[in-house]
């Protein structure tokens, strides 16, 4: 029979505070994309209630809108800083045409940031203890491989929850070589959910907590509450925009050796991880004197932390924030944020004195340690498990303090948002359109070398087609920036297409790319050797 969890709900009504006087998000509407032979034109309308000028970004997706990781760096027009309200156009030339598979489609995302920065107090105030409680009940129970049905149900519950928030969610399978007598499964499954940042896949801030428990333990503190608060952090943060990705990871098989976290941390999938916030056993709260014990030698390694606990009669009423020395910036920032977002939360911050915290092995006993080993900054939030609770890994692990856990999450969520680079951006999406490459091959074509070269007035391209086609000549400088474009429809046979440099083109070296039905077929280097001013007089 499943035991009921016992949670302290005191003062939870004070934790969800309305925020007034907010700056409204910029609104991006009417995003439409059209394709030419050499690129795309993206139109949009920008409005802002405060009439602020905005910084406009554009990103593209070729996976049906699952991710927007393509950055049109050469986009021109109404993109970048100082964009006012009104109708606008962005032009992106050619970048997606080469190398794409036939039949690929593209969707554009236009984002506008007005420069206003939501306060971290605003974000932390939206953490809702009632939602945390519902999350907790949804995952509570013995989630060990020895209890396979509930273990599977909990995994599905977590995965479905993140999917329901609209996050990119995946089940990441790995295989264990631990003997069967230790764990009755070979397959572990991490649950990963991502809020994609404006910078795409370049950088990720990760929040984590393992979802497996030991056998015969309901796991209220270790580690169902940690999973519940990760779910709540995602609920709040999904409504904001960030420069970096935010990822929520619920690790599997932590209890037999941090296997899920090690698998991920040592894989190529973690290469974009820039910082980790990890929770484990962080919901036990006690006000009785001497309810907090410490490991042997703690007073020698961490005298300041020991003195802080001693001054409060070793009450178990604080959260411990643990980093190694390369992660110390995370705990320093958390200490700076605490008076702003959680002024009543007591904490002890500890920084290990040696690389990877090998001298204090008790501080490595969770899923942050694999990231320390990979030299990734990671901070560990914990209420210290067996140093505060006799129910650690026991059937009586049924108690978690909701008020305490909510305050910890307010601080941790503020830290995550701060490291991810909070923005204030509205966005809109274009329709899905073909990239210009279809299953049909371009018309067979022969292109002779252009002449004259160097170009003294005009340059001519002789093109032989076996069937009618759309033909374009795209001229760029040596950095790939578009300088000129000629495009037309030619009938079959030998045709001549001319290019005359415009007044904006200076003397120098350029690249002319010939495209047939939108596909590049040949490129030539051209030297422009005339003064463009001559062209205005017809010479």
- Looking at the chain, how many residues does it have? 539
pLDDT at 103: 54
DSSP string, 377-402: -EEEEE--GGGT-TTTTSTT--EEEH
CA angle 481, 482, 484 (to 5 degrees): 150
pLDDT at 200: 65
Strand pairing class (459-465; 469-476): unpaired
pLDDT at 260: 95
- Cα–Cα distance between 61 and 30 in angstroms, integer? 18
- Cα–Cα distance between 227 and 263 in angstroms, integer? 19
Structure tokens at 347: 């904490």
CA angle 465, 470, 474 (to 5 degrees): 105
pLDDT at 170: 95
Helix (H) or strand (E) holding 311: helix 303-311
DSSP string, 432-492: PEE-S--SSPPPPEEEPPPBSSSBSS-EEEEEEESS-EEEEEEEE-TTS-EEEEEEEEE-S
Sign of the torsion formed by the C-alpha atoms of 293, 298, 303 and 304? negative
Going from the C-alpha of 265 to that of each of 107, 369, 377, the distances in angstroms are 32, 10, 12
- Cα–Cα distance between 521 and 98 in angstroms, integer? 10
- Cα–Cα distance between 220 and 243 in angstroms, integer? 34
- Cα–Cα distance between 474 and 449 in angstroms, integer? 15
Task: Compute the half-sphere exposure of residue 265: CA atoms within 13 Å on the CB side of its CA.
Answer: 24
By CB neighbour count within 10 A (0-12 exposed, 13-18 middle, 19+ buried), where does 319 fall? Answer: buried
pLDDT tens for the chain, 539 residues: list them.
455 676 654 333 333 333 335 789 999 999 999 987 677 899 999 999 999 999 999 998 888 888 888 888 778 999 999 999 999 999 987 544 433 444 578 899 999 999 999 999 999 999 999 999 999 999 999 999 889 999 999 999 999 999 999 999 999 999 877 655 555 566 899 999 999 998 766 799 999 999 999 998 999 999 999 999 999 999 999 999 999 999 999 999 999 899 999 999 999 889 999 999 999 999 999 999 999 999 989 999 999 999 999 999 999 999 999 999 999 999 999 999 999 999 999 999 999 988 888 888 889 999 999 999 999 999 999 999 999 999 999 999 999 999 999 999 999 999 999 999 999 999 999 999 877 544 344 456 888 889 888 888 889 999 988 888 888 898 887 666 778 888 888 888 888 888 888 877 888 888 888 888 877 788 888 888 865 454 443 33
- Cα–Cα distance between 256 and 176 in angstroms, integer? 10
Q: At 1, is the secondary structure helix, strand, or coil?
A: coil
- Cα–Cα distance between 127 and 141 in angstroms, integer? 24
| Contact between residue 258 and residue 369 where contact means Cβ atoms under 8 Å apart | yes
pLDDT at 225: 97
Going from the C-alpha of 82 to that of each of 47, 159, 321, 479, the distances in angstroms are 13, 40, 41, 25
pLDDT at 527: 87
Strand pairing class (319-323; 347-351): parallel
pLDDT at 302: 95
Exposure string (b/e) for 496-508, b if CB count within 10 Å is 16 or more? ebebebeeebeee
pLDDT at 485: 86
pLDDT at 181: 56
């Amino acid at each position: 029979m499943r035991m009921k969890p016992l949670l302290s709900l005191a003062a939870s009504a004070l934790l969800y505070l309305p925020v007034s006087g907010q700056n409204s998000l910029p609104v991006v509407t009417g995003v439409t994309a059209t394709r030419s032979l050499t690129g795309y034109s993206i139109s949009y309308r920008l409005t802002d209630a405060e009439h602020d000028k905005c910084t406009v970004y554009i990103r593209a997706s070729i996976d049906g809108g699952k991710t927007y990781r393509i950055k049109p760096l050469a986009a021109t027009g109404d993109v970048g800083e100082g964009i006012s309200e009104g109708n606008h156009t962005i032009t992106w030339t050619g970048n997606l045409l080469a190398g794409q598979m036939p039949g690929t489609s593209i969707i554009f995302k236009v984002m506008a940031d007005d420069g206003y920065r939501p306060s971290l107090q605003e974000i932390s105030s939206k953490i809702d203890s009632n939602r945390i409680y519902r999350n907790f009940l949804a995952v509570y129970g013995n989630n060990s491989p020895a209890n396979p049905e509930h273990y599977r149900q909990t995994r599905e519950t977590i995965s479905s929850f993140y999917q329901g928030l609209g996050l990119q969610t995946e089940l990441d399978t790995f295989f264990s070589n631990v003997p069967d007598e230790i764990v009755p499964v070979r397959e572990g499954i991490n649950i990963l959910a991502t809020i994609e940042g404006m910078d795409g896949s370049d950088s990720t801030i990760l929040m984590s907590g393992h979802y497996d428990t030991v056998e015969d333990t309901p796991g209220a503190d270790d580690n169902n509450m940690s999973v519940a608060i990760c779910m709540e952090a995602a609920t709040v943060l999904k409504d904001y925009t960030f420069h970096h990705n935010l990822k929520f990871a619920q690790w599997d098989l932590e209890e037999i050796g941090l296997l899920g976290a090690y698998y991920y941390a040592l894989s190529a999938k973690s290469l974009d991880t820039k910082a980790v916030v990890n929770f484990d056993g962080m919901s036990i709260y006690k006000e009785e004197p001497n309810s907090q014990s410490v490991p042997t030698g703690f007073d020698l390694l961490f005298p300041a932390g020991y003195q802080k606990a001693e001054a409060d009669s070793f009450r178990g009423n604080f959260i411990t924030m643990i980093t190694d020395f390369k992660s110390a910036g995370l705990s320093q920032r958390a200490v700076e944020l605490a008076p702003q977002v959680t002024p009543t939360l007591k904490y002890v911050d500890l920084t290990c004195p040696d690389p990877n915290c090998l001298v204090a092995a008790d501080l490595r006993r969770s899923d942050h340690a694999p990231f320390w080993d990979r030299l990734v900054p990671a901070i560990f939030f914990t209420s210290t498990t067996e140093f505060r609770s006799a129910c650690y890994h026991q059937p009586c692990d049924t108690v978690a303090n909701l008020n305490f856990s909510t305050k910890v999450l307010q601080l941790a969520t503020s830290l995550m948002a701060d490291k991810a680079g909070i923005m204030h951006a509205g966005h809109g999406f274009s329709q899905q359109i073909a990239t210009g490459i279809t299953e049909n091959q371009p018309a067979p074509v022969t292109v002779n070398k252009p002449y004259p070269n160097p170009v003294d007035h005009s340059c001519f391209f002789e093109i032989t087609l076996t069937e009618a086609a759309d033909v374009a000549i795209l001229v760029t400088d040596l950095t790939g920036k578009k300088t000129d474009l000629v495009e037309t429809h030619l009938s079959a046979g030998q045709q001549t297409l001319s290019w005359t440099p415009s007044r904006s083109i200076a003397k120098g070296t350029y690249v002319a790319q010939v495209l047939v039905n939108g596909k590049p077929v040949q490129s030539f280097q051209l030297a422009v050797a005339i003064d463009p001013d001559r062209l205005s007089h017809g010479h």
